[in-house]
Chain A
Amino acid sequence: MMAIRELKVCLLGDTGVGKSSIVCRFVQDHFDHNISPTIGASFMTKTVPCGNELHKFLIWDTAGQERFHSLAPMYYRGSAAAVIVYDITKQDSFHTLKKWVKELKEHGPENIVMAIAGNKCDLSDIREVPMKDAKEYAESIGAIVVETSAKNAINIEELFQGISQQIPPLETHENGNNGMIKLGKQTTQMNRRCC
Chain B
Amino acid sequence: MEKEFDNGNCPQAGMSSKLEESNLDPSRNSIHPAEEKDMTSFPGDLENNGQFKAGKDAHRKKLCGYLNKFSAKGRIKAWKSRWFSYDEQKCHLAYYRTAQDINPLGNIDISTASFDCKVGEDERVFEIRTPSKAYILKAVSTQAMMYWLQQLQIKRWEFCNSQPGLPVASIIVSALSGYEPLPDCTEAEEEELMPTVKTPTTLVGVKAASLPAPQAFTALQNISLKHPWIEIQNTVHNLCGGRQSHGNGGNMFDFDEFQEPPENFVEEEQLEAENAVEEETQEETRTGFRSGLVRKAKKLNSSFPRFAEGLAQEKVGVLQQHVLTLTEEVKCQKELVKLLHKALEAAQQEKRESCRYLAAAEDKDRLELVRHKVRQIAELSRRVETLELERKELGQSLAVKEAHIKELAEHVQLLMDKNQAKQQVILKLTEQTAGDFPDSVTEADVIATETLYKQQEEIEHLKDDIKAYKTQNQFLNAEIHQVTKIWTKVAEKEKALLMKCTRLQAYNCQMESKYLMMLRELQELPDLPSDHVEIVKRLIQEALQWDVKNGAMDPAHPNLVSEYDAYGFMSVPEYEVEDWKLLAKIQALETKTNILLSQEAVERPLLERWNSLGELAPSTELKGLLRCGIPVEHRPRVWRWIVNCRVHHLRSAGHYQRLLGKREATKHPASRQIELDLPRTLTSNRHFASPTSPFIARLRRVLLAFYWQNPTIGYCQGLNRLAAIALLVLEEEESAFWCLVHIVENLMPVDYYSNTLVASQVDQRVFKDFLAEKLPRLMAHLEQHAIDLALITFNWFLVVFVDSLASDILFRVWDAFLYEGTKVIFRYALAIFKYNEEEILRLQDSLEIYQYLRFFSKTISDGRKLMNIAFSDMNPFPMKLLQNRRVIHREKLEAELRELERIKAQYMREQVEQGAGLLDGAVSEDEEEG
Contact surface of A with B, Cβ cutoff 8 Å? 6, 15-16, 28, 30, 32-37, 39-45, 56, 58, 60, 63-65, 67-68, 70-71, 74-75, 106-107, 111, 139-143, 165-166, 168, 178, 181-182, 184-185
Residue of A16, A34, A44, A68 near B683 (CB, 8 A) is A34
Interface presence of B755 (CB below 8 A): yes
A185 to chain B, nearest CB (A): 5
Q: Is the CB of A182 within 8 A of B922?
A: no
Q: Is B790's CB within 8 Å of the partner chain A?
A: yes
How far apart are A71's CB and chain B's nearest CB, in angstroms? 7
Nearest CB of B to A124, in Å: 20
CB closest residue in chain B, given A31: B576
Residue among B682, B908, B930 with most chain A CB within 10 A: B930
- In the complex, whether B297 has a CB less than 8 A from a CB of chain A is no
Q: Secondary structure of the A side of the interface?
A: mixed
Q: Is B348 an interface residue (CB 8 A)?
A: no
Complex Cα spacing A184 to B785, Å? 11
**B846, CB-defined interface residue at 8 Å:** yes
Which listed residue, B758, B791, B847, touches A45 by the CB 8 Å rule?
B847
A15 touches B577 (CB 8 A): no
Assuming the contacts A67-B757, A74-B788, asked whether A28 and B577 have C-beta atoms less than 8 A apart, the reply is yes
Specify which chain A residues have a CB less than 8 angstroms from the CB of B930 in the assembled complex. Answer: 165-166
Q: Choose from B718, B761, B854 the contact partner of A43 (Cβ within 8 Å).
A: B854
Q: Which of B57-65, B233-241, B672-680 contacts A (4 or more CB under 8 A)?
A: B672-680
Q: Which B residues from 264 to 319 make CB contacts under 8 A with A?
A: none
With A32-B683, A181-B846: A65-B716 Cβ-Cβ less than 8 Å? yes
* In the complex with contacts A40-B794, A107-B904, A165-B930, A68-B680 CB distance below 8 A: no
Contact yes or no, A71 B679, CB < 8 A: no
Alpha-carbon gap, A56 to B907, bound state (A): 33
- Given A37-B677, A139-B923, A141-B923, are A184 and B786 neighbors across the interface (CB < 8 Å)? yes
Interface contact B846-A65, CB-CB below 8 Å: no
Chain B: minimal CB distance from A93 (Å): 11
Query: What total count of A-B pairs have CB within 8 Å?
Result: 111
Indicate if the CB atoms of B850 and A68 lie closer than 8 Å: no
- Tell me which of A30, A165, A181 has the highest count of chain B C-beta atoms within 10 A of its own C-beta: A181
Q: Does B926 contact A (CB under 8 A)?
A: yes
Q: Which residues of A contact B679 (CB under 8 A)?
A: 33-34
Q: Which residues on the B side are within 8 Å of A56 (C-beta)? A: 847
B547 is an interface residue with CB less than 8 A from chain A:
no
List 11 extra interface pairs beyond A34-B683, A36-B682, CB under 8 A: A15-B717, A37-B717, A39-B795, A68-B717, A70-B756, A74-B788, A106-B907, A178-B786, A184-B786, A184-B788, A185-B786
CB distance from A36 to the nearest CB of B (A): 6
Q: How far is the CA of A152 from the CA of B911 in the complex (A)?
A: 41
Chain B residue, CB-CB nearest to A6: B847
Partner of A39, one of B717, B761, B850, B904: B717
Could you show 14 A-B contacts with beta carbons less than 8 Å apart? Answer: A15-B717, A30-B576, A37-B680, A39-B718, A39-B795, A56-B847, A58-B847, A63-B717, A65-B716, A70-B756, A70-B757, A74-B791, A165-B930, A178-B845
Residues of A within 8 A of B851 (CB): 43, 45
Contact B923 A142 (CB under 8 A): yes
CA distance in complex: A64, B718 (Å) = 12
Q: Verify A41–B677 contact, CB threshold 8 A.
A: no
- Which residue of A is nearest B899, CB measured? A188
Q: In the docked arrangement, what's the CA distance between A36 and B755, Å? A: 21
Question: How far in angstroms is the closest Cβ of chain B from A170?
Answer: 14
- Given contacts A71-B761, A106-B904, is CB(A39)–CB(B798) below 8 Å? yes
Closest residue to B682 on the A side, CB-wise?
A36
Closest to B574 in A: A32
CB distance from A113 to the nearest CB of B (A): 8
The smallest beta-carbon distance between A90 and chain B, in angstroms, is: 10
A30-B576, A106-B904, A166-B929 are known contacts. Are A70 and B791 too (CB-CB below 8 A)?
no
Q: Is the CB of A43 within 8 A of B846?
A: no
Contact of B576 among A28, A106, A168 (CB under 8 A): A28
Question: Chain A residue with minimal CB distance to B691?
Answer: A34
Give Cα A142 to B846, complex, Å: 32
Cα–Cα distance between A64 and B911 once the two chains are bound (Å): 27
A-facing residues in B672-717 (Cβ within 8 Å): 673, 676-677, 679-683, 716-717
| Docked-complex contact A65 and B717, CB < 8 angstroms | yes
CA distance A64 to B757 in the complex (A): 14
Contact present for A16 and B788 (CB under 8 Å)? no
- A6 cross-chain contacts in B, Cβ below 8 A: 847
Query: Are the CB atoms of A142 and B677 closer together than 8 Å?
Result: no
**Residue B160, interface by CB 8 Å:** no
Cβ-defined partner of A36 (8 Å) among B683, B846, B927, B929 = B683
A30 to B576, CA, bound (A): 7
